[in-house]
Structure 1
Amino acid sequence: MRSDNISSTAPINYEGAQNVFSDSDRCSDQVFDSDDSLVDRNFIPSDDESSSNDTTSLADETDVNIQENKNSIELQHENKENNKKLTRKRLRNCEAWKKNIRKKKREIWARNICAKGKTVCERKMREVCPEKCRLKCFSKISTEERKAVFDYYWQLGNIDKQRVYINSCMTEINPTYRNAKSGSNRSKNFKYTFIIENKQMQVCKTYFKNTLGINNRVIFTTTKKTGNQGMVNSDQRGKSNKDRIPEEVKNDIRNHIKSFPTVSSHYCRARTNKMYIDGSLNIQTLYRLYVERCKSNHKEYAKLTTYRHILNSETNIGFHTPKKDQCALCENLKNANQETKENIKERFEKHIKEKELSRIEKSKDVESDEIEVYCYDLQSVLPTPSGDVNSFYYKKKLATYNFTIYDVKNKKGYCYLWHEGTAKRGANEICSCVFKFITNNENENLVFYSDNCVGQNKNKFVFGMYLYCTQKFENIKSITHKFLIVGHTQNEGDSMHASIEREKKRVLKGGPIYVPSHWSVVVRNAKKRGNPYIVDEVSTNDIFDFKKLLPKNWK
């Protein structure tokens, strides 16, 4: 530990753990939509959505690198990593789901593994029709032209686009003679064509299927989904438009969540953007209040699953004040890889040694008969009003502050209470409480332990106050302030905060707290064994401006 001595009428020892961390260590392609054709009856698919009479566009499409199209499936979601929104729960990434990756690979004829774990081979162009074919398809189109048609079809990469292409290659015909009885369910007759060099080449059905690498089921589904106007309906699998929740209902949920006042974390305000609401609430209670509001306003309300989804995916709100942060360096070491562990090994060993030395130093002070040891800290905010009353949840609450000083040797607790209407919680307020404590203290050598909060404890105003006390009070010979290592500031004074929180929960079960003065009763009754906590309600007359001492006592 490091020790700096300040000379005055009586010696003041400033002992603080050396800060071994820096600030950084402490803070730890457009998809086709067939809805266009359904809305506009005169809609004509563009060149990249259906077959075309322009041979140049067909040739350009065949030059597309298929491998790049395959790789884009796995990498499509990576570009969104940098635009992540901090929410209560991790957002779902549907594009990275295995079933959607399999579906995308299947649509671009890539080698794939089905849901059962079996390997599905990639799509291949099959043999041409036999020589006895009446249309002699094999003599009309060359192998290179067939391959270009095959590649173009599968590079569309979307089942809706592929169905539009198949539909454009099919024409319904009425033969002059048909050997079928009246009322027969025999399917329609179609003529199949490919556009090669601006010419329509009629082919047989076998040649058509083998060239595209498809079967009868694909053709049957396409004809079934083709409407009277010749437009192919889009694939509706996985969609639930009929059950879509109205946007107005979703906005009601968002507004209800925003109606609750939020506060930042007591311990990590500078390191997180997460906000917190009343710890007595939970998702079930929020939803119950939401339903009651909707019923009173005669509005439609959503289900609990929808409310939970919006809360988890669109907000970063917690329901309780988190526990005190763990040490940033220790936590980083637990989650680091081997290389990182080797890089920070020396610094970590020094950090652990500093922690152990600070604990040993505090134990020696407690065992010494020549000094008195005290730990002080500011408890988390006590809101007023507080209780299980629906209207309280929507109101901005008055903050009540509780500054605690714990006598380690005699096991006595001192509490200084005030609300934000009386004063803030900065250096002057902390100095005033400690000054009032020292004023009523008859011991000669005082040792204080605290955390490293610069705005409250570790600043020149506190030590200016110490210097003033040694000059003002003749009984005081020395005042020593020692800071525990960052991340390892647990001390005996934390037991006071835990006892008060337990008593707070017990009292709120019997009824709400309406005024700040009721907190003093809660604090006095918090300790069930031994000496009760001594409560001092701070007024404006007890707050002093210790900044004025600096020009005289601090150089």
Structure 2
Amino acid sequence: MKKKTSQIRKKTGKNKKKKRKESSKNKNRELLENNTEENLDTENENVGEKGLKRVKKNTRKERALSKQTGKEYVRKDGQLVPEKSIQPNPCKGKKCGNNCENVTEEKRQQVFKHFWTLTPERRRDWLVGMTDKGNVKRKRSSSELRSYTYKYCITDGEGKRSVCLQFLAATLDISQKCIYYTVKNASSGSAKEDLRGKCEPHNKTKPSTKESAVNFIISLPAVPSHYCRHDSTRVYLPQEYKNIAHVYSVYKERNVKAGIDIVSEKIFRKIFSEEFNISFHVPKKDKCLKCLQLQHADLSDPKKKKEKKDHETEKEESFNRFSTHKSIHKTDPSTLCASFDLEKVLNTPHGESMLLYYSRKIAVYNLCFYENGTRRVTCYYWDESNGKRGANEIASILHRYIKSVDERENIKHLLLYCDCCPGQNRNRTVLAMIHSTLQECNNLQTIQINYLLTGHTYMPVDSVHAVIENNLKKTIIHAPSQWYTVFATARKEPFPYEVEAMTFESFNRWDVDGDKYFKGNLTGKISKVRVVTVKKNKPSMISIKDSMNVNAKSYNVEVQSKTKGPLMPCYRSRLPIAEAKYNDLMKLCKDKVIPAPFHHEYSIIPKATNAKDTLPESDIEDDE
């Protein structure tokens, strides 16, 4: 019963909220439909273009306008300042040399209205025009320093009439100090210009201090993205720089140690955002663009509704298939399921040293394989001077891994899982390599590669990357060769990771025959492939499915005859790095940030002036 009553309360609460929203919308619509044009002008101060959004008022400007026109306003501290009005005649019933008590209230009202209809600048000029400066007729003491006096007037028909200062201040409802300051600082018959907001503040940043901040930002190792440098001039900072606040802390720490003045974080942020086109590199994250698009789609459209349903079905089928294969070794020991993925780029040297923030670093890549049944992990790593991270590199490492699995006599079937990155995994080069390698195997009979949906991978190999990154905390890596020890000691139970260092000689040109390996070239089909099965007893074809659904149909793709022969190497020597990056690494060696035993490892890396230094990883590369 309690559950039912709570459910009823929730429903009634939701219904009440809906009714309130509907009633508020109806009221706004009635206002917009029934109000006249005059009323709509006042309503539009609060109602936006759509009639439902409220426009935010600028209270500071409204307060300033009310103050200038003499109307009532509320100060910043909440105190109410009343509207300007004529004060009682201070000369009434008193002896006044100007006979100010004879001025009628009607005349005073005319002067008051005229004064407050003027702009602030013209009001000051009016006060100067109604004041005559003259010499002091009689000094009351010898010590009096005053050498001139002021005579105040108001308009009287076509001429002027003299009045006293108290009378003028009471008539205009301003202070005597305001009148005296205005006429005292006048020059050439005009009031002094109002300099409020126009003078340089006392805390203005010095040009030299600002220039030091600009030079610091210029010195940062920002490089263009490898994937969008043709379409954009934006450059990116490595992932060590998290955000502008982190960059400012680095700038502040360096300048404080050097005894150099620093700008405030607000000024630094303004310089960084407005004067430079720099962004921060965010490592790739699994995200499903289709889910984000369908989340805000109009489901009343039958096509969108069907598209969302099909996507959710595919997501569930992929999860169920992978879950079944992860435990297939329990029922079929001859089948091995493994997932593989590239770890995010490991910039080297790696550490928390402040000096490392100002230098460009060499990129290290790590391709990991995780086997579900054996819990065996193999890491293949190399740096950017030994190879890139394209289809040929992935295919070469995958070939090496398949050959190592083939050495186990009990394994007959290999199930591979990976993401859908077209430049690395899902392409003709990798499929041609798998088919060709299987024909050379002695024990393996079947190889199947499964491409998981982007944003819904959840592969066990991701846990390997997490273990490695957790062990990197407060660890300094001086050279690429040290990563071998990091990977090998990252896990102890049930046994350490197996690590293999790759060189430029390890990578072959699998793409030479891959482009013409399959009949029809898989044109227009490769982007939809989800499951590819290669069997040794069927060397003339491969089986392909575009869905992981159990009921999805498969089709065969014929394998064309290809010229057999030794594979061409990808590289004849190590790849050169950008000269600017090489110079930064040599400077770290010279400053002894990198210890002497590792200097030779960097000095033998080739450099080239025409080599482009680009961001090695982008957050959009794995999008389908």
- In the TM superposition, residue 402 of structure 1 has moved relative to its aligned partner by 0.9
Structure 1 residues 398-437: aligned runs within 5 Å: 398-437=362-401
Q: TM-score, normalised by structure 2?
A: 0.58
Question: Does the 8 A contact of 1:265 with 1:321 survive in 2?
Answer: no
Q: Which of 237, 245, 248 is 2:205 aligned to?
A: 245
| Partner SS, residue 551 of structure 1 | coil
1:479 Cα deviation after fit:
3.1
What is the percentage of aligned positions where both structures have the same residue? 25
Deviation at 1:367, TM superposition (A): 2.0
Question: Corresponding residue for 1:458?
Answer: 426
Quick check: 279-288 or 399-408, which moved more? Answer: 279-288
Q: Which residue of 2 aligns with 1:256?
A: 216
Answering whether residue 360 of structure 2 is matched by residue 396 of structure 1, we say yes
Does 1:534 pair with 2:498?
yes
User: For the structure 1 residues 322 and 425, does the alpha-carbon distance in structure 2 shift closer, same or farther, using more than 3 Å as the test?
Assistant: closer
The aligned residue for residue 240 of structure 2 is 278
TM superposition shift of 1:363 = 0.6
1: CA distance, partners of 2:399 / 2:447: 12
Describe the SS at the equivalent of 2:396.
helix
The CA deviation at 1:536 is: 1.6
Give, in angstroms, the shift of residue 473 of structure 1: 3.4
The equivalent position to 1:543 in structure 2, one of 490, 507, 510, is: 507
Deviation per CA, 1:346-377: give whole Å up to 9, x if none: 86666555433322221111122344222222
Query: Taking structure 1 as reference, are residues 238 and 479 closer, same or farther at Cα in structure 2, changes over 3 Å only?
Result: farther
Letter in 2 for 1:291: V
Query: Partner amino acid for 2:426?
Result: K
For the residues of structure 2 that align with 1:185 and 1:162, how far apart are their CA atoms? 31
Q: Show the 5 A alignment for 1:65-84.
A: none
Task: Return 438-447 or 247-256, whichever deviates more.
Answer: 438-447
1:325 deviates by 5.6
Q: Structure 2: which amino acid aligns with 1:113?
A: V
Show structure 2 runs of 5+ residues with no match. 1-39, 49-55, 93-98, 521-624
* Number of the residue aligned with 2:531: none
For 2:339, the aligned partner's letter is C
- AA aligned opposite 2:262: A
Report the equivalent of 1:20.
Answer: none
Q: How many Å separate the matches in 1 of 2:75 and 2:223?
A: 49
**Which residue of the partner structure matches residue 373 of structure 1?**
337
How far apart, CA to CA, are the structure 1 residues paired with 2:291 and 2:126? 62
Structure 1 pair 170–530 and aligned structure 2 pair: CA distance change class (3 A): farther
Change in Cα spacing, 1:416 to 1:428, as seen in structure 2 (3 Å) is same
Counterpart of 1:113 (choices 74, 77, 80) is 74
Mapped to 2, the partners of 1:109 and 1:384 lie a distance apart of 67
Q: Return the offset for 1:505.
A: 2.7
Aligned-pair distance for 1:164?
A: 4.3
Matching of residues 180-219 of structure 1 within 5 Å: 188-192=149-153, 204=163, 214-219=174-179
User: Offset of 1:547 from its aligned partner?
Assistant: 2.1
Distance 1:332-1:208 versus aligned 2 partners, 3 A rule: farther
Bigger relative CO (Cα 8 Å, ≥ 6 apart):
1
| Residue aligned with 1:440, SS | helix
Task: Tell me, in whole angstroms, the C-alpha distance in 2 between the residues paired with 1:342 and 1:167.
Answer: 70
Letter of the 1:466 counterpart: I
Displacement of 1:408 in angstroms is 2.4
Corresponding position: 1:102 with 2:63: yes
- Give per-residue Cα distances to partners, 1:459-478, cap 9 Å, x unaligned: 33333333333444364443
Residues 219 and 467 of structure 1, relative CA distance in 2, 3 Å threshold = farther
* Contact 1:464/1:554, CA 8 A, preserved across alignment: no
1:324 and 2:290 are equivalent in the alignment: no
Instruction: After superposition, give the CA deviation of every residue in 1:413-438 in whole Å (9 maximum; x if it has no partner).
Output: 11111111111112222222222212
- Measured in 2, the distance between the counterparts of 1:333 and 1:102 equals 47
Distance in 2, Cα, partners of 1:265 & 1:533: 32
Partner SS for 1:505: coil
Which position in structure 2 is the counterpart of 1:173?
133
For residue 311 of structure 1, report the CA deviation from its aligned partner: 7.1
Which residue of structure 2 aligns with residue 151 of structure 1? 117
CA contact (8 A) 1:452 1:484 kept: yes
Q: Which residue of 1 aligns with 2:517?
A: 552
Query: Aligned with 1:165: secondary structure?
Result: helix
1:446 corresponds to 2:446:
no
Cα offsets for 1:125-180 (capped at 9, x unmatched): 6489799747857787995x975653332xxxxx6x36743554342433786695
> Is 1:289 aligned to 2:254, yes or no?
yes
Deviation at 1:331, TM superposition (A): 7.0
Name the SS of the counterpart of 2:202 in structure 1.
helix
Shift of residue 391, structure 1, vs aligned partner: 4.2
Instruction: Give yes or no for the alignment of 1:517 onto 2:481.
Output: yes
Superposed displacement of residue 540, structure 1: 1.9
Q: Does the CA contact (< 8 Å) of 2:391 and 2:423 recur in 1?
A: yes
How much does 1:457 deviate? 2.5
The answer as to whether partners of 2:129 and 2:189 remain within 8 angstroms in 1 is no
Deviation at 1:501, TM superposition (A): 1.6
C-alpha distance in structure 2 between counterparts of 1:553 and 1:331, whole Å:
35
> Counterparts of 2:418 and 2:501 in 1: how far apart (Å)?
22
**CA–CA separation in structure 1 for the residues paired with 2:152 and 2:182:** 14
Distance 2:458 2:64 in 1: 54
Q: Given residue 220 of structure 2, which amino acid in structure 1 is its aligned partner? A: F
Amino acid corresponding to residue 500 of structure 1 in structure 2: I
CA distance in 1, matches of 2:86, 2:172: 8
Structure 1 stretch 384-393 or stretch 342-351: which is displaced more?
342-351
1: CA distance, partners of 2:194 / 2:266: 27
Cα distance in 2, alignment partners of residues 531 and 237 from structure 1: 70
* CA contact 2:154–2:162 (8 Å) conserved in 1: yes
Alpha-carbon separation, structure 2, partners of 1:472 and 1:111: 92
Distance 2:189 2:463 in 1: 78
Higher mean displacement: 360-369 or 485-494? 485-494
Q: Which has the larger radius of gyration?
A: 2
The equivalent residue for 1:479 is 447
Change (3 A) 1:456 1:291: same
Q: 1:500 to 1:116 in 2, by over 3 A?
A: same
* C-alpha contact 2:136 2:149 (8 A) present in aligned 1: no
Q: CA deviation at 1:303?
A: 5.9
Q: Secondary structure at the match of 1:521?
A: helix
Task: Summarize the Cα distance change of 1:399–1:441 in structure 2 as closer, same or farther, 3 Å threshold.
Answer: same
In structure 2, do the counterparts of structure 1 residues 475 and 317 end up closer, same or farther at CA, with 3 Å as the change threshold?
Answer: same
Change in CA separation of 1:502 and 1:266 when aligned onto 2, cut-off 3 Å: farther
Amino acid at match of 1:486: T
Distance in 2 (CA, whole Å) between partners of 1:108 and 1:426 is 70
Does structure 2 retain, via aligned residues, the 8 Å contact 1:163–1:222?
Answer: no
C-alpha distance in 1, partners of 2:104/2:306? 78
RMSD: 5.0
- Name the CA distance, whole Å, in 2 between partners of 1:175 and 1:136: 27
Amino acid at match of 1:278: E
Number of the residue aligned with 2:347: 383
Post-superposition shift, 1:542?
2.0
**1:37 aligns to what?**
none
Closer, same or farther in 2 for the Cα pair 1:216/1:374, shift >3 Å? farther
2:350 and 2:478 in contact (8 A); partners too: yes
Structure 2: which amino acid aligns with 1:287?
Answer: K
